[in-house]
């Protein structure tokens, strides 16, 4: 069996971002299936953490199964499932107006919340929760605005990614919807639960009961995956199979040395070109 590099030899928990690390669009990134298997054979717990709130965790299970990666629903932490868990800690059986898609609605319903589609009384709504909505409508924005400004609803968001990577380039991300509601209410979300906030990683550490010093995150985005990992105090590994290049990281390191206003939590502990480089040659 190959040996993990020294920096990772004590790892008991590996958290993987999905797009840009395990697959890219509809294509498996070569060897990621074998590597997940190999880690599990070493009794390293593997979980997946994505900011995409549009699909259910069951769909992720099926997507990864198609790529030959065996996993179960509880192995996934999406910004939708993390949001639902955190909202439940604040209030059980809440009345929620959602700007978002099926993944977010179904995760909220699964934890007992009432997702209101037609709002008749704005005062009834406890929370407005915003995630990526690829069918974003002016009327829903107007309803959300009224729930917050005329009712008592509190504003939360799944994530604030500016862009969404697709097979060819980029599309608008959830941050666009979040900013729309910010603009028309003059309010900031009370919380944003996805990466780079550490809620998801903290939930994973709590669920697995593995201490932060034995955990790591593999991600392709500095301002979500790496920032979240460093904020949560786990080891961070940037994988260059997605949106980040070595030039971007080197440039950031240079600027942080010159002590420009760079958040050092954006800088990964380890950089690997692909997942194979987590092993010794």
Cβ proximity to Mg ion: between 173 and 189 the closer is 173
Quote the least distance from Cβ 153 to Mg ion, whole Å: 31
Quote the least distance from Cβ 165 to Mg ion, whole Å: 7
**Interacting span for Mg ion (CB under 5 A) from 65-73, 104-112, 126-134, 217-225:** 217-225
Asked whether position 20 contacts Mg ion by CB under 5 A, the answer is: yes
Asked whether position 268 contacts Mg ion by CB under 5 A, the answer is: no
The single residue among 38, 75, 107, 220 that binds Mg ion, judged by CB under 5 A, is 220
Asked whether position 133 contacts Mg ion by CB under 5 A, the answer is: no
Could you identify the residue written with the tokens 């008991």?
A: 12
Quote the least distance from Cβ 260 to Mg ion, whole Å: 25
228: left (phi over 0), alpha (psi -120 to 50) or beta: alpha
SS3 string, 60-71, reads HHHHHHHCCCCC
Residues of span 33-92 touching Mg ion by CB under 5 A: none
**Interacting span for Mg ion (CB under 5 A) from 10-18, 36-44, 77-85, 175-183:** 10-18
According to DSSP, the residues that pair with 103 across neighbouring strands are none
> What is the rounded distance in angstroms from the CA atom of residue 220 to the CA atom of residue 198?
16
Cβ proximity to Mg ion: between 145 and 159 the closer is 159
The single residue among 13, 17, 53, 96 that binds Mg ion, judged by CB under 5 A, is 17
Structure tokens at 14: 């590996």
DSSP string, 190-222: SEE-STTSSHHHHHHHHHHT--GGGEEEEES-I
Structure tokens at 194: 């996805």
Residue number closest to Mg ion, CB atom: 20
How many residues lie near Mg ion (CB under 5 A)? Answer: 5
Asked whether position 19 contacts Mg ion by CB under 5 A, the answer is: yes
User: Which phi and psi (to 5°) does residue 96 adopt?
Assistant: -130, 135
Beta strand pairing status for 170-172 and 163-165? antiparallel
Q: What is the binding site for Mg ion (CB under 5 A)?
A: 17, 19-20, 220, 242
């Amino acid at each position: 069996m190959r040996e993990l590099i020294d920096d990772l030899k004590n790892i008991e928990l590996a958290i993987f971002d999905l797009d840009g690390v395990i697959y890219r669009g509809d294509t498996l990134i070569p060897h990621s299936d074998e590597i997940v298997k190999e880690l599990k054979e070493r009794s390293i717990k593997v979980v997946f953490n994505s900011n995409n709130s549009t699909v259910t965790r069951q769909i992720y299970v099926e997507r990864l199964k198609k790529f030959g990666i065996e996993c179960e629903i509880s192995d996934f932490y999406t910004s939708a499932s993390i949001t639902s868990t955190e909202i439940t800690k604040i209030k059980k059986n809440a009345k929620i107006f959602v700007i978002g898609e099926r993944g977010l609605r179904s995760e909220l319903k699964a934890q007992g919340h009432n997702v209101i589609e037609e709002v008749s009384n704005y005062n009834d709504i406890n929370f407005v929760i915003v995630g990526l909505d690829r069918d974003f409508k002016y009327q829903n924005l107007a309803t959300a605005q009224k729930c917050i400004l005329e009712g008592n609803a509190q504003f939360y968001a799944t994530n604030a990614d500016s862009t969404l990577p697709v097979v060819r380039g980029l599309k608008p991300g959830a941050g666009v919807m979040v900013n729309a509601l910010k603009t028309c209410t003059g309010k900031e979300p009370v919380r944003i639960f996805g990466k780079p906030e550490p809620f998801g990683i903290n939930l994973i550490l709590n669920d697995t009961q593995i201490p932060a010093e034995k955990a790591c995150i593999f991600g392709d985005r500095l301002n979500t995956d790496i920032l979240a990992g460093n904020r949560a105090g786990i080891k961070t590994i940037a994988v260059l199979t997605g949106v980040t290049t070595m030039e971007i990281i080197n440039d950031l390191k240079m600027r942080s040395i010159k002590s420009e206003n760079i958040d050092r939590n954006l800088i990964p502990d380890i950089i690997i070109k692909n997942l194979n480089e987590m092993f010794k040659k």
